[in-house]
Amino acid sequence: MAEITKNEALVLRKTNFSDSSLIVELYTKEHGKISAIIKGARSSKSRIGSKIDTLNLVEAVFYHKEQKELQLVTQANLISHFHNIKSDLERVKYASAIVELILKLVPEKDANEKLFRGVVKSLNLMDKENSQPILHFTQFFMFFIKEIGFELSFTNCSSCGNEINNSDHNAFSYTDGIVCGNCNKDKLTTFDFSTELFELFLCLTSKNKKLSYKKSDLENIIFILEKYIIYHNSDFKGLKTLSIF
Ligand SMILES: [Zn+2]
């Protein structure tokens, strides 16, 4: 049985199909990540085609068949096309990295409304005029890691369980997460935190609005989170978007 459903959806990717159709990958609020076909979307008469572009947030009407590989989208209304993101290369880079994380690490048809809300919130933040895209992306990345089941402990060493002390020589182990200075000695693949960097890492998890940071520190945090996922998911080879821009 097909069910007609209206869903908020982020367009992750679109590919031309046959003479005038499109195949799209959508991240939807109620059905998670799905693939869909939009028939005739590339014809000049199509009312849907112009609304379907990567990084557009739409309200999509589709016939949902659970067992089908491709859903059929029949209508789409534009909610946001994130104008400010698309007119700035730095914002495009980090917004595309969010899309890449979903494409590569979120399983098909795995609905997660909290994650969906987080994606939309981060894109809205990046779209604001005085946006700091790298900061919004780093915060999103930490939230994302938790949502896909790799939550990090910031209070206790992930190896010995002792409480983490800020002034200690803490490190990030790509296999275990945050480890204390003592355990760091036994680990082979670690990244040593400076006190300043560890402080920033902690601050990113709080809702502290006034955050001061160096861009290179955020780049280091993104780097270690990427490595952490690579160690836990052999299919993931890192974020291409961040290296091509
Ligand atoms: Zn330890």
CATH number belonging to domain 3-81: 2.40.50.140
Which among 58, 80, 203, 78 is positioned nearest to 138, based on CA atoms? 203
User: What are the extents of the domains in the chain?
Assistant: 3-81, 84-244
Report the SS3 class of residue 146.
Answer: helix
Ligand 1: centre distance to CA 137 (Å)? 29
Residue 48 sits at the vertex; the CA angle it makes with 46 and 54, to the nearest 5 degrees, is: 125
pLDDT in tens, 19-50: 999 999 999 999 999 999 999 999 999 999 99
Rounded to two decimals, the pTM is 0.94
Same fold, 3-81 and 84-244: no
> 122-133, pLDDT tens digit by residue?
999 999 988 899
Ligand 1 centroid – CA 200 distance (Å): 20
The alpha carbon of 163 and the centre of ligand 1 are apart by a number of angstroms equal to: 8
- Residue 185 CA to ligand 1 center (angstroms) comes to 10
CA distance 173 to 181: 11
* Dist. CA 230 → ligand 1 center (Å): 22
Q: Are 92 and 83 in contact (CB under 8 A)?
A: no
| Residues lying with their CB under 5 A of ligand 1, a single-atom ion | 157, 159-160, 180, 183
CATH topology (fold) of 84-244: de novo design (two linked rop proteins) (1.20.1440)
